[in-house]
Amino acid sequence: MPKQLVVAANGPKAGGAYSPCLRAGDFVFVAGQGPNDPATGQVVGTTIEEQTERTLENVKLLLEAAGASMADVVKATVHLSDLSLFPRYNTVYARYFPDPKPVRTTVGSQLLGILVEIDVIAYVGE
């Protein structure tokens, strides 16, 4: 099956030369999402908790548009502007994923005006 562009009607749009979400066979790939309101493009929140929640809601919107859910996520990559924010971000992150949690890599990154960015891969096969 060729890759298919996934568009969420009220979801995040690409901010550059990339697709926000693709489905390839039984896999769904969600590009790095940040804490931007899909309607306005404005950053939501000033705390890591608020920004993590908005970011994961954006991920969730794209997954749902692809016929997947947070429970289908098998891999997450997380970029934090400051690794000292990890415990606070992790508390919010943990609420979004049922057990077994996806595998995850979390790294410190230079982000442009945001505290967190998250991309995921979901598996929707049998």
φ, ψ of residue 4 in degrees (nearest 5): -125, 135
Alpha helices by DSSP H, listed for 1-126, are 48-65, 86-96
Q: What residue segments make up the domains of the chain, in order of their start?
A: 4-123
pTM: 0.96
pLDDT tens profile 44-75: 999 999 999 999 999 999 999 999 999 999 99
Confidence of residue 2 (pLDDT cuts 50, 70, 90): confident
Closest by Cα among 126, 77, 72 to 101: 72
For the chain, the average pLDDT equals: 96
Give pLDDT, residue 13: 87
CA–CA distance, 8 with 66 (Å, rounded to integer): 8
CATH fold, domain 4-123, is 60s Ribosomal Protein L30; Chain: A; (3.30.1330)
